Amino acid sequence: MKGNQTNDTFKSEKGIHTDFKEKMTYGDYLQLDTLLDSQKRLSNHHDEMLFIVIHQVSELWLKLIIHETQAAIAAIQKGELQASFKMLSRVSRTQAQIIQAWDVLSTLTPAEYMEFRDQLGNASGFQSYQYRLVEFVLGYKTPFILKIYEKDPKVHTIMEKAYHAPGLYDVSIQALSRAGFDINPEVLNRDFSETYEKDDSVEAAWLAVYQDVDNNWELYQLAEKLVDIEDWFQQWRFRHMKTVERIIGHKTGTGGSSGVGYLKKVLDHYFFPELWSIRTKL
């Protein structure tokens, strides 16, 4: 009965295309043959498929985060703050998706992971160039990271360009300056390859924005978009740390890091420090 209902439903849709011998299909457009053929297990263990898929999906979401953040940076530099808000909102929504991925990976038990962990060799999420690129576009620059990508000149060039370019917070501070706030010249003219350090003039400017929202509405909106992104990023880091602890405990990571110990350390880092410190002063 249900089969007949389904057939009747399709028959009533006279416009549905069924002949694709000379036309592009959904699978063609998304290159699904390539995408779905990219899960190459190195072991025969059932759960390695989960491990590969979760990390590949996360890399796709990271690609979108980078795409939107770089576009937002360009928009802010041109003074188009409203345009940047849509992009930054999309980044936050994407971050929520990546966080939920840890819930799926946490179904992998320690015993199951140990069945194929040795197959990874020294490969590790620590080496994800897109994750590092997200850190770079947000303003967190770590020079030793570049060495990891010397093996691939194309990736190394991408990373080096982002390493020397202003991050999202740098262009936001420049927007404060253009709006007439007194920003320390050393901050405005700093070497963008260095990780940003908290500055009193930037804190004073953001504090003034929050104390007079009506006259600084766009900058206030920008600030809250940045807080959203950092909040979600910290939640992602926390879920990452707890998932790793749940699966491998305090073992050294496959890439040589201290594993959980390293992940706990980065929880203390802030991309946009003044936007958090002013909350105590308001």
pLDDT at 126: 75
Query: What letter does residue 255 receive in the DSSP assignment?
Result: T
Q: Assess if residue 238 is contained within a domain.
A: yes
- Length of the chain, in residues: 282
164 is in an annotated binding site: no
- Domain housing 209: 47-116+126-279
Q: Flag the least confident range among 46-50, 91-95, 183-187, 243-247.
A: 243-247
Q: Quickly list DSSP for 203-243.
A: HHHHHHHHHTTGGGHHHHHHHHHHHHHHHHHHHHHHHHHHH
User: Residue 137's pLDDT is what?
Assistant: 96
* CB distance 16 to 10 below 8 Å: yes
233 is in an annotated binding site: no
144 is in an annotated binding site: no
Domain assignment of residue 186, yes or no: yes
Q: Would you say residue 6 lies in a domain?
A: no
Q: How many CB atoms lie within 10 A of CB 187?
A: 19
113 within 8 A of 47, measured Cβ to Cβ? yes
Q: Are 240 and 246 in contact (CB under 8 A)?
A: no
**Mean pLDDT for the stretch of residues 253-276:** 82
132 is in an annotated binding site: no
pLDDT tier, 256 (very low <50, low <70, confident <90, very high otherwise) = low
Range in 58-67, 106-115, 226-235 with the lowest mean pLDDT: 106-115
Is 53 annotated as ligand-binding?
A: yes
Q: Is 54 annotated as a binding residue?
A: yes
Q: What is the pLDDT of residue 142?
A: 83
Answer yes or no: is 5 within a domain: no
| 192 has binding-site annotation | no
pLDDT at 260 over 90: no
Query: Alpha-carbon distance 241 to 244, whole Å?
Result: 5
Q: Whose structure tokens read 């010249």?
A: 185
Q: How many structural domains comprise the chain? A: 1
Average pLDDT of the chain to the nearest whole number: 91
Residue 23 belongs to some domain of the structure: no
CATH of the domain at 166: 1.20.58.480
The CA-atom distances, in angstroms, between 212 and each of 41, 63, 219, 220 are 56, 36, 10, 9
156 is in an annotated binding site: no
Is residue 227 within 8 A of residue 168, CB to CB? The reply is: no
Q: First CA to last CA across the chain, in angstroms? A: 66
Percent pLDDT > 70 in the chain is 91
Query: Would 136 be classed as within a structural domain?
Result: yes
Residue 1 lies in a domain: no
pTM equals 0.90
pLDDT, one tens digit per residue, over 60-101 is 999 999 999 999 999 999 999 999 999 999 999 999 999 999
Residue 25 lies in a domain: no
Q: Alpha-carbon distance 208 to 205, whole Å?
A: 5
29 assigned binding-site residue: no
Q: What stretch of H or E contains 35?
A: helix 32-36
Cβ–Cβ < 8 Å for 155, 126: no
